[in-house]
C-alpha cells in the first residue's frame, strides 16, 4: 500500500514501514496529561521494542541522517502517547512540537533533524499533523540519546 492509497492515518503510518509501539509505564511520570482540551505529551526518546536506538552527540558521534531517523522514531512514540490519550490516531491533532537535539555547539542543523519528525506527522495525519515547532540544540539528553521530542496535541 502506498501513502497515496492509504485510507486511514494508521494505514499511512504502516505504509511508511512504521507501527505504533506500546509505551511502557514509568513510575516517575505519565506519557500524557490532558489539561482542558490540550494533551501534553512527555518527552519521548527513540525507543523501538524497548531498545534505545542510538546514543551520542549529533555532529560528533551521530550523523545528520541517523539523527533524522531517530527523530522519526521519536515522533512515532509521541503519536503512541497521543493515541493513549485520545483512543484513535484519527483523532490526533498536533499543536506544537519541541525537538531537543544533543549536538555540538557548531552543528547548527537542528531544524533539519526536526524536519524528519515533522514529515512523519504530516504524512500520517495530513493537515492535523501540521504544527508549531521549535528545534533546540542541547549539551546532553537522558541516557545520552541524540533526540528527545515533547508535544502538545488536541483531540479532533
Q: Is the pLDDT of residue 120 over 70?
A: yes
Count: domains in the chain: 1
Domain hosting residue 81, numbered range: 3-155
- How high is the pLDDT of residue 3? 55
pLDDT (mean) for 40-47: 97
Q: Which stretch of 11-25, 100-114, 130-144 has the lowest confidence by average pLDDT?
A: 11-25
Model pTM above 0.85 = yes
- d(C-alpha 34, C-alpha 85), whole Å: 8
- How high is the pLDDT of residue 151? 98
Q: Is the pLDDT of residue 4 over 60?
A: no
Residue the block writes with cell 552543528: 107
Q: Is the pLDDT of residue 7 over 90?
A: no
Q: pLDDT digits over 55-106, tens only?
A: 999 999 999 999 999 999 999 999 999 999 999 999 999 999 999 999 999 9
Name the burial class of residue 27, with classes exposed (0-12), middle (13-18) and buried (19+) by CB atoms within 10 angstroms of its CB: exposed
Say how many C-beta atoms besides its own lie within 10 A of residue 99's C-beta. Answer: 25
pLDDT (mean) for 124-131: 98
Q: If we measure between CA atoms, which residue out of 48, 49, 31 comes closest to residue 40? A: 31
Answer whether 42's CB lies under 8 Å from 151's CB.
no
pLDDT (mean) for 34-56: 95
CATH of the domain at 55: 3.30.1330.40
Name the burial class of residue 57, with classes exposed (0-12), middle (13-18) and buried (19+) by CB atoms within 10 angstroms of its CB: buried
Q: Which residues contact 62 (CB under 8 A, 6 or more apart)?
A: 54, 56, 70, 146
Amino acid at each position: 500500500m502506498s501513502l497515496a492509497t492509504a485510507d486511514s492515518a494508521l494505514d499511512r503510518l504502516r505504509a511508511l514501514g512504521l507501527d505504533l509501539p506500546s509505551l511502557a509505564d514509568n513510575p516517575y511520570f505519565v506519557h500524557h496529561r490532558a489539561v482542558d482540551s490540550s494533551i501534553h505529551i512527555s518527552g519521548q526518546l527513540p525507543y523501538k521494542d524497548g531498545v534505545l536506538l542510538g546514543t551520542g552527540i549529533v555532529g560528533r558521534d551521530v550523523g545528520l541522517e541517523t539523527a533524522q531517523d531517530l527523530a522519526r522514531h521519536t515522533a512515532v512514540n509521541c503519536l503512541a502517547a497521543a493515541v493513549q490519550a485520545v483512543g484513535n490516531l484519527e483523532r490526533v491533532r498536533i499543536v506544537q512540537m519541541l525537538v531537543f537535539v544533543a549536538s555540538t555547539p557548531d552543528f547548527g542543523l537542528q531544524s533539519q533533524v526536526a524536519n524528519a519528525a515533522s514529515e512523519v506527522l504530516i504524512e500520517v495525519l495530513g493537515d492535523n499533523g501540521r504544527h508549531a515547532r521549535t528545534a533546540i540544540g542541547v549539551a546532553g539528553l537522558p541516557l545520552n540519546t541524540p533526540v528527545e521530542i515533547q508535544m502538545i496535541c488536541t483531540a479532533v
